[in-house]
Amino acid sequence: MRLTYDLHIHSALSPCGDEDMTPNNIVNMAYIKGLDIISVTDHNTVQNVEVIMKVAKKRDILVIPGIEVTTKEEVHILCYFRNTEDSKEFQDFIYRGLPNIKNNEKLFGRQLLMDENDNIIGKVDKFLLNSTKYTIKEINDLVNRLNGALVPAHVDKKSYSILANLGFIPNELNIKTVEVSSNYFSLSTKILNSLNGYNILKNSDAHYLGDINEPVMFLDLEKKDINSLIEYLNKSWRNKG
């Protein structure tokens, strides 16, 4: 079945995420836009995911537990999991790997935890935008152990991108899917050549409600469930040239 998606959205828990990015606002905006599947991928934390999954049930929107991790190489990596338990186990590991630096709210914005009625129920202390101490390989190993999926984020960007920071995608990571930030047709030939053989997602990386994807990107899944999506992200689509 063809399903519309946006698998890279930030909630108000990300310091850079707008405070209007509340569970209900995100879900309702996705609903208005006509999206079937979303993922809220905050920086190095999953603590708003569960409540967003709860809110999305009423709207029949599938939410996949996700997180945007910063590796030691300063590469942004999207990681997706089959259930909230796995995502929490992963997050605990990630959070331990963040340096003990407190968030400066004035400079970076608040890191807000919310409930299903959009009430602020707490804040995360550590500054979430820092790099973890883990290499991309260590992160990949844990995602694989938890049967999740790993997708390098906005590979076409000049910063925090696997192509910019590492020059090319290391083969041994066995990555099948990558995310681009711009329209497929505006990607440079050089980027396109690097992505030959990879399955490509285009997400919004929304920090503001209006930026969430329009229903123009499609995934073809067996079923509208998390397992089908993980399988899709981990599948070889074309022979790499």
Ranges within 20-79 binding another protein (CB under 8 A): 73
**CB atoms near residue 24 (< 10 Å):** 17
- Cβ atoms of 5 and 35 closer than 8 Å: yes
Nearer to another protein, 75 or 219 (CB): 75
**CA atoms lying within 13 Å on the CB side of residue 21:** 29
CA angle 161, 8, 199 (to 5 degrees): 65
Nearer to another protein, 194 or 213 (CB): 194
Nearer to another protein, 114 or 180 (CB): 180
- Cβ atoms of 111 and 103 closer than 8 Å: yes
Nearer to another protein, 167 or 241 (CB): 167
- Give dist(CA 124, CA 189) in Å, integer: 41
- Please give the C-alpha separations between residue 20 and each of 7, 38, 209, in angstroms, as whole numbers: 18, 17, 7
Q: Does 181 bind another protein (CB under 8 A)?
A: no
Q: Measured from the CB of residue 159, what is the shortest distance to another protein in angstroms?
A: 8
Amino acid at 173: L
Q: What is the H or E stretch that residue 237 is in?
A: none
Ranges within 70-89 binding another protein (CB under 8 A): 73
Nearer to another protein, 170 or 210 (CB): 170
Choose the binding region for another protein from 29-37, 133-141, 144-152, 233-241 (rule: CB under 8 A). Answer: 133-141
Choose the binding region for another protein from 47-55, 107-115, 130-138, 143-151 (rule: CB under 8 A). Answer: 130-138
Q: Does 135 bind another protein (CB under 8 A)?
A: yes
Q: What is the H or E stretch that residue 14 is in?
A: none
For residues 139 to 178, the per-residue mask of contacts with another protein, x marking binding by CB under 8 A and - elsewhere, is: ------------------------xxxxxx-x-x------
Q: Residues interacting with another protein, by CB under 8 A?
A: 73, 135-137, 163-168, 170, 172
